[in-house]
Copies of this chain bind each other. A is one copy, B any other.
């Protein structure tokens, strides 16, 4: 079953790849209209999911994420489809053009990757988002949602599928929505047909997927972000940045988890920054050296570090705090302990900042601003496919570009290698940019 799903998605990709931007965009418009027309049915199904979730005693945060009727969520989900439809065509862009010899020209052309497997948890709006992104970029997508959104998922899936089939040039196998949880494991084995897995959900989900597939995975298994407060720093900036990075949305992968403070900073300033966090309700996990300098800080919010305090993603109102001897020591600590997501330096000294920016090996390296900016929407990518801590292909917040690969087109007129140097002949390559 998993194999036939993957195989048919791959066959559909072969056709989808040849469609024009107009054909792909038209399909999005049709899907938008069909989902709009089905609004009542979708919200009815969504209500059943919510009731089931309540009866099952699922946490209210999860139920809230399920809810499509909430404050214009349905409309903004539909608007998202039109936003993607209006994006510039990402397919067929020429990114290199080179004359190899008279009449022999090489072009590098942006092209879709192939078949994407998207695995997500409760948010049903991901269906619309990913369907739009995949079709726009010419990729096939297999979508697997969480069981909590089963009813919503089912009806949206039927609408998307029947619309593609009846009204568009996009083959309906290009977007397949999988409802059974059992198939995920088998799908992860289809590396012959699936080119990229994109998990959207908890870190646990991502980590689990990464250890169960040979297919490349685009996602972050951890978001252990750090802030280093240098000796030449502004107390007010440091405090507001630390508080925002920690408390704006602590469950986000771009929330800060550890604070490194230059050891020469005087106690009053350390107390101001750490106190700012405590005042915002953050529990600070501190080393003995830091603890000794905290003076009259509310001890209810001060605990001692333990063994793994600097290798841990709290995702809560908690942060680990330690001293470092220098910017070099901060860099060394971060390159070892961070998850290479986003790390920040607070300093007024440009040379120190440059040293930090150059040495830190993370997707995002920040100077005097909140780690929470690490996000596709904030970066202006319009729409976000996910955030990647991989070091190949796409890194950091990933927009539509992350769903694209490229191909080389070589156009000749009977040219053969045997006539050129290196292939047995004497002709030389020209290698001129076109």
Contacts and interface: CB of A to CB of B under 8 A. Distances in A.
Contacts of A390: 216
Contacts of A14: 331-332, 335, 359, 361
Interface in A397-428: 397, 405-418, 420, 422-424
A121 to B, nearest CB: 21
A195 B114 CA distance: 23
Interface string A372-384: 1110011110000
B379 A409 contact: no
Given A100-B378, A410-B369, A392 B113 contact: yes
A99 to B, nearest CB: 9
A335 B178 CA distance: 25
A400 to B, nearest CB: 14
Interface string A354-370: 01011101111111111
Contact of A422 (B196, B377, B396): B377
A422 B98 CA distance: 44
B396 A408 contact: yes
Chain A, interface size category, equals: 35 or more
Given A361-B114, A405-B392, A104 B410 contact: no
A66 to B, nearest CB: 21
A17 B378 CA distance: 28
A409 B373 CA distance: 11
Interface string A196-239: 10000000000000110010101000000000000000101100
Contact of A410 (B111, B373, B407): B373
Interface stretch (A30-38, A240-248, A260-268): A240-248
A379 B107 CA distance: 10
Given A195-B391, A236-B414, A417-B244, A372 B423 contact: yes
B378 A424 contact: no
List the number of copies, as a whole number: 2
Given A195-B392, A379-B98, A392-B392, A357 B409 contact: yes
A364 B407 contact: yes
Given A114-B391, A395-B406, A422-B377, A414 B369 contact: yes
Interface in A73-94: none
A367 B408 contact: no
B248 A418 contact: yes
Given A216-B216, A408-B396, A417 B361 contact: no
Contacts of A361: 13-14, 17, 111, 114, 407
B406 A369 contact: no
Given A14-B361, A392-B216, A412 B369 contact: yes
Contacts of A416: 240-241, 243-245, 248, 369-370, 372
Interface string A306-337: 00000000000000000000000001100100
A237 B413 contact: yes
A431 B18 CA distance: 33
Contact of A379 (B100, B248, B392): B100
A376 to B, nearest CB: 11
B408 A370 contact: no
A423 B408 CA distance: 42
A393 interface: yes
Contacts of A335: 14
Contact of A364 (B234, B373, B410): B410
Given A357-B409, A379-B408, A369 B17 contact: no
Contacts of A245: 416
13 contacts: A14-B335, A100-B373, A100-B378, A196-B392, A237-B413, A243-B416, A364-B410, A365-B408, A369-B412, A372-B417, A372-B423, A373-B412, A396-B407
